[in-house]
Amino acid sequence: MSLTAFTMITIANYIGGVWTPPRSGRYFDDINPATGEVMARVPDSDAADVEAAVSAARAAWPAWRSMKPAQRYEALHALAEGIRRRLDELAALESDDNGKPLWLARSVDIPRAVSNFSFYAAAALHFGSESYEMGDEVLSYVLRRPLGVVGAISPWNLPLYLFTWKIAPALAAGNCVVAKPSEVTPLTAFELSRIAQEVGFPAGVLNIVHGRGASAGEAVVMHPHTRAVSFTGGTRTGRRIAELAARQFKKVSLELGGKNPNIIFADAPYDEALRTTVRSSFANQGQICLCGSRILVEASIYERFRDDLVERARALKVGDPRDPDTRVGAVVSESHMQKILSYIALAREEGGRILTGGERVAVPGRCKDGFFVAPTVIEGLAPTCRVNQEEIFGPVVTLIPFADEEEALSIANGVEYGLSATVWTQDLRRAHRMARDLEAGIVWINTWLLRDLRTPFGGTKASGMGREGGWEAMLFFTEPKAVTIQL
Ligand code: NDP
């Protein structure tokens, strides 16, 4: 029977191929943010559950590690196909769990989870390592062996999308995984464990432990047999994980927060820049680490762009995530909504003018108790104020005028974060200069969120350490060993 057929789901951990209740017997509630209703009971797992998962993973590792690439390809490809077959069901779960519009989950989140597995299934086939000759006498080559058991910890904003973005390369490189999804969006991770069982994915190779960050998450980081941890989430959590991992000399990949600039020059392709800026501001309720939250506009077109952006933002329908006309769904939780509203209040205190939005939205009907925030555009704030420096992670953007390229760059780089940046200009040379000088791991020119999965993904400064994507993830999840032979 499918998960959506139940009104209340009791989630189980997936350990050694078996659904396992938490050892403590404790659960907490999973809430649908669009309705405020409890949808599921989530295992409140702790170190004992993580211990069981690591031990199942260790037992499964020798067979998984020594599989031929083609066999590993088949296993990962089967997961991709299993997700594809359940697209509608998974999209509905993701939308209910996270508050995002159903059409978005169906067109972006779940298809991307399919791509993550199919992309890294292919990587398992093609991955190789280098060799070097020193004249005719010496040959050196590099072995790239999997690490063993690795941890994957992911956030709530793109639940299955980011969960599988870590799991897929870890498995492709020959590791066994203990993965912890966000406590607020566990449903599609649970469904993934059902798919793994359905397609006969080898038991113990992928283990999923549900629970809270401070208990289950930290136990994954602290376990002496997790050889690496791939983490996506907030900068504060990332710092804590980096500290814990450093003491153990454990490899970490940290994909953290952002305060991304969206820089619009006067020669930008105007309509496209405007349309895409609306999307990069409010897609997924502004809860994408790559959303552009600071919109820098060249002074000569500032007023026109501001007025057009405000008009477009006002026209976005905030409402029931199941309604196909909804453009902005619910934010992920009541506490997150309060955090977003507190930043809007701070913007007022800091002298900002709220041009549109700025408040909670009441949605009638089944969503009357949901957590909805109106798309909000603010102007008049100094680039250095808290609202322009700290990550809000909601449907809130600020507008900042700039005089020239130099000033745009200085404002763009004047934050502690460095995840992504978007530049709108028709001037080829300027585009290259900006791409070179922006302090960001990802730069888009005249586009946004267009991803080639072969390119490195990640941030600099307080936005993280290490890169995911393409070969970078395969390198992260393997240990190089140099072998030199005197011939
Ligand atoms: P959090 O940092 O709160 O949580 C992320 C994950 O870490 C969750 O699974 C969480 O569990 C877990 N966790 C929390 N504390 C610990 C701990 N001490 N040890 C181990 N694990 C822990 O982030 P959010 O879920 O709130 O996600 C939003 C953040 O993620 C934003 O800052 C956003 O910018 C960032 N992000 C970054 C991306 C990137 O690629 N750079 C992409 C997407 C989001 P629990 O859910 O139980 O708290």
Domains in the chain: how many in total?
Answer: 2
- Considering 183, 218, 255, 298, which one is annotated as catalytic? 255
**Nearest CA residue ID for atom 45, ligand 1:** 213
The tens digit of pLDDT for each residue in 262-315 reads 999 999 999 999 999 999 999 999 999 999 999 999 999 999 999 999 999 999
458: in domain: no
Strand-pairing partners, residue 354, are: 378
Domain with 397, as residue range(s), is 261-453
Has 94 been annotated as catalytic?
A: no
Q: State the closest ligand 1 atom to the C-alpha of 463, by its place in the atom list counted from 1.
A: 41
Q: Which of 156, 237, 335, 338 to mutate to test the pocket of ligand 1 (most atoms within 8 A of CB)?
A: 237
**Nearest CA residue ID for atom 4, ligand 1:** 233
Measure 393 CA to ligand 1 centroid, in angstroms.
12
Strands (E), 147-237: 149-153, 176-180, 206-208, 226-232
The CATH number given to whatever domain includes residue 205 is 3.40.605.10
Nearest Cα residue to 286 out of 200, 157, 179: 157
238: in domain: yes
**Nearest CA residue ID for atom 34, ligand 1:** 257
Let me know: does 142 contact 220? Beta carbons within 8 Å: no
Residues 407 and 482 both lie in one domain: no
Around ligand 1, the residues with Cβ closer than 6 Å are 153-157, 162, 180, 182-184, 212-214, 217-218, 221, 232-234, 237, 240-241, 255-258, 289, 391, 393, 419, 459, 463-464
What does the buried/exposed string (b/e) look like for 275-309 if buried means 16 or more CB atoms within 10 Å of the residue's CB? ebbbebbbbbbbbbbbbbbbbbbbeebbeebbebb
Residues 166 and 74 both lie in one domain: yes
The CATH number given to whatever domain includes residue 328 is 3.40.309.10
Q: State the closest ligand 1 atom to the C-alpha of 155, by its place in the atom list counted from 1.
A: 25
What does the buried/exposed string (b/e) look like for 12-47 if buried means 16 or more CB atoms within 10 Å of the residue's CB? bbbbbbeebebeeeebeebbbbbbebebbbbbbbbe
Measure 62 CA to ligand 1 centroid, in angstroms.
31
At 1 the pLDDT is: 40
Q: Which of 11, 157, 230 to mutate to test the pocket of ligand 1 (most atoms within 8 A of CB)?
A: 157
pTM: 0.97
- Considering 176, 289, 291, 367, which one is annotated as catalytic? 289
Q: Which of 182, 241, 393, 396 to mutate to test the pocket of ligand 1 (most atoms within 8 A of CB)?
A: 182
What are the CA-CA distances from residue 71 to residues 124, 130, 164, 203, 437 (Å)? 9, 23, 19, 15, 44
Residues 244 and 330 both lie in one domain: no
- The phi and psi torsions of 150 (rounded to 5 degrees) equal -125, 155
At 7 the pLDDT is: 62
Which residues have CB under 8 Å from 223's CB, separation 6+? 47, 50, 51, 54, 151, 178
Measure 471 CA to ligand 1 centroid, in angstroms.
24
**Nearest CA residue ID for atom 35, ligand 1:** 233
Residues 315 and 407 both lie in one domain: yes
**Nearest CA residue ID for atom 18, ligand 1:** 214
Has 81 been annotated as catalytic?
A: no
Which residues have CB under 8 Å from 314's CB, separation 6+? 356, 375
Residues 189 and 299 both lie in one domain: no
**Nearest CA residue ID for atom 36, ligand 1:** 233
Residues 183 and 76 both lie in one domain: yes
At 8 the pLDDT is: 82
The tens digit of pLDDT for each residue in 232-276 reads 999 999 999 999 999 999 999 999 999 999 999 999 999 999 999
Residues 271 and 128 both lie in one domain: no
**Nearest CA residue ID for atom 8, ligand 1:** 182
Residues 293 and 435 both lie in one domain: yes
Query: Tokens 């549109």 appear where?
Result: 356
Measure 452 CA to ligand 1 centroid, in angstroms.
24
Residues 297 and 405 both lie in one domain: yes
Measure 415 CA to ligand 1 centroid, in angstroms.
20
Residues 80 and 200 both lie in one domain: yes
Q: Which residues of the chain have pLDDT under 50?
A: 1-6
Residues 230 and 358 both lie in one domain: no
Measure 239 CA to ligand 1 centroid, in angstroms.
11
Residues 414 and 470 both lie in one domain: no
How far apart (Å, rounded) are the C-alpha atoms in residues 398 and 295? 6
At 45 the pLDDT is: 98
At 259 the pLDDT is: 98
